[in-house]
Amino acid sequence: MLPGSIQITGEALSGAEIKDICDSLKENSVRLLSVRGCQLSDRDFGRVCRGVAECHALAQLNLNLGVVSNISRVKQLAEALNTNRSVHTLFLHGSPLTDTGLACLNPVLSTHPSLVSLDLGDCMLGDEGLQLICGMLPPDGAKSGLKELTLSANPAVTSKGWARLAIAVAHSSQLRVLNLDYNPLGDQIAGMLAVAVASSRTLEVLDLEGTGLTNQSAQIFLDMVENYPTCLRVLILAENNISTELQQQISDLLSEGEEEEDKEGEARGSAGGREREKTTWVSQSSKEPGLQVSSTLSSRYALAGGRSHMVLVTSGLGDSLLAETEM
């Protein structure tokens, strides 16, 4: 039987409920754990972290919306991830980490053998934090790194920090999805990111929703996708001062490029006598993610009135992440 999943959102968790979670972790019966926005004591948080450290089946850990609320919890999470070797995806969206907290986590995040997706949106990061994150995007020929990175709503980062990130993205041999929505980037930084996208051989999705862009930067992206080869398949420009016409032109060009690539893939498959298997990277939303998942604890945490559908998300590391998402 496949390991199950636990999702609890916005609840005050009792000691008995924490014990149930920890027992499930120690039995390796949990693949996805989400205690998003939940209230639990420092002692109980430590118990959960020890369970995470011991669980060999856990692939996705969601501690969004302030669960990691102080430096003591940051250190406990770092200790857990230093022992854990199975987590592929870590959500810390809405945690007041600051650069100090990220510096505490960085040694384990940058060396974790399985981590491919990281959400640090709304974590009060600055330029020092961005410099640490750049180390998780190693260049070609180096160690493996992140495939999906979310840095939404970190307004303290300056143009210097974003410039460093753009350089790292340009040379990253792994990154496929980058979510930068709701940061005050402006056209100048968007221009740097356009150069990074043009240089990248892997980046497929870039979210720039609500980042203070105008038609000026949109025109640069349009010229890029129109005149230069790129891996980019999705560019999100909503909630900016950009004309609908320009957004549609960019979207149409990206769609055309994807269709041409699919045709080429089918042709190569036919020439080989069999269809080539197509692998798709399924990204999490750049908005604070809230996977609706059935719980292994009790009906209290089960989906309320709705049907769920099983989605297979390949990690790119020879393993897979199973999540039940509301359709």
Give the pLDDT of residue 194: 95
More confident residue, 248 or 261: 248
Nearest CA-CA partner of 180 in 130, 108, 244? 130
pLDDT single digits (tens) 201-217: 999 999 999 999 999 99
Please state, as a whole number, how many other Cβ atoms lie within 10 Å of the Cβ of residue 43.
9
Scanning the structure block, which residue is given the tokens 């995470």? Answer: 52
DSSP state of 284: P
> Which secondary structure element, helix H or strand E, spans residue 311, and what is its range?
strand 308-314
The reported pTM is: 0.82
First CA to last CA distance, the chain: 24
Q: Does the pLDDT value for residue 295 go beyond 70?
A: no
Average pLDDT of the residues in 279-285: 37
pLDDT of 291 over the 50 cut: no
Nearest-5° Cα angle at 66, 176 to 24: 80
Residue 263 pLDDT > 80: no
Point out which residues pair with 17 in neighbouring strands.
none
Strand pairing of 320-326 and 308-314?
Answer: antiparallel
Bridge partners (DSSP) listed for residue 205: 177, 234
